[in-house]
Amino acid sequence: MDKSVLINRNNKACKIFNLINIKIRLIDTVNPTFIVDSKYRIPVKLEGSNLVFRKVFNPYEEPFFTLDINTALEEINTEQLKRVFDQIEKVPVYIIFIKSECVSPTLYLIGFDKNFDNEINYPVFGVVRPKIFYNKEYAQKIVDRLTEQGFKVILQ
């Protein structure tokens, strides 16, 4: 699929969630992971032009609810969508940010940059699009490493 078509499809999916005041961030363009408020992920996938909801993260489970994103914005029943959203699994995700009472706005870890020799990864902090971690233990290892390097960071 053409990248502009994928971006348009993904934007439509986000608008559907906006109808019920759910802030969605998509990780990846082709097979996006749906992240809610940088706090948890949900078992929703885009398959072609269909928004497919499963109750849990199991690709072998039958879809629980499906919407055609090309017609959903005009035809959707928001109360039904709220009920569907309430019934699906929500799995925590983790973000890392700088602990500071002096820095405003909050600076999140957004990634790593390598030095010219590609030997050391330097943390990159920013105010938008924090790096999402799915595994708490791994995220804690990153926090520990950053703390050893002198950063005052918090795992949330």
pTM > 0.95: yes or no: no
Q: What are phi and psi of 124, to 5 degrees?
A: -120, 125
* Per-residue pLDDT in tens (0 to 9) along the chain, 156 residues: 688 888 888 999 999 999 999 999 999 888 899 999 989 999 999 998 899 999 999 888 899 999 998 888 788 888 999 999 999 999 999 999 998 777 678 899 999 887 666 666 789 999 888 999 999 999 999 999 999 989 999 999
Given this model, what pLDDT does residue 113 score?
Answer: 87
Tell how many helices (H) and how many strands (E) occur in the chain. Answer: 4, 11
pLDDT value at position 118?
A: 62
Two structure tokens written together for 87: 């019934």
Q: Are 55 and 89 in contact (CB under 8 A)?
A: yes
In 3-state terms, what secondary structure has residue 86? helix
DSSP assignment, residue 142?
A: H
pLDDT of residue 117: 65
12 in helix, strand or coil? helix
**C-alpha–C-alpha distance, residues 126 and 128, integer Å:** 6
Dihedral through CA 88, CA 94, CA 100, CA 105, nearest 10?
-60
Pairing of strands 121-126, 50-53: unpaired
Please tell me the predicted confidence (pLDDT) of residue 119. 65
In this prediction, residue 99 carries a pLDDT of 84
Q: Tell me, what DSSP letter sits at residue 44? A: E
